[in-house]
Amino acid sequence: MKQLTISASDFLNSDTIERRIERFEGDIGYPSNIAVWLNVSKVSDDKIYVSGAVEGYIEIECSRCLSVYRHPVEIDIESDMDLSSGETDMGEEIRQLIVLEIPSKPLCSPDCPGICPVCGKHNKENDKCGCSQKQDEDFAKQRWKNLFKK
């Protein structure tokens, strides 16, 4: 992302630059709305100090109920970067930080009940199924029993 590429020539007039991106366009694999704010200071001819924040959300699927929800992204950045090659791509660094923030098992809420194993309904607040706990247990036992039949 060219807007987040920092080069040595950016520091000709000042030892500090500021970059603001209202909509980060890096490829993170999910729809998103992410803003980036960076303050970059020149430490030496080949070192810079970057501080800032990444804020917004990514739209991912809940692993229990399969509903798409907005997962918040809030990352503080404080890093020393090498500028010996003449430039550094902060866009790629930020993309990697965002990807690391994506949970391996995303949940729309910690108490998401998921999908009913009996009827397949999404068990959301306004969409409860009528299946009982006993039906759920019987269904699970039968499913395990069928898996081990030869």
- Which neighbouring-strand residues pair with 60? 69
What predicted TM-score, i.e. pTM, was given to this entire model? 0.76
pLDDT tens readout for residues 2-24? 778 888 888 888 999 999 999 99
Q: What residues form DSSP beta bridges with 39?
A: 18, 51
Helix (H, G, I), strand (E, B) or coil at 115: strand
**Which parts of the chain fold into alpha helices (H)?**
90-101, 133-147
pLDDT digits (tens, 9 = 90+) for 27-50: 888 999 999 999 999 998 889 999
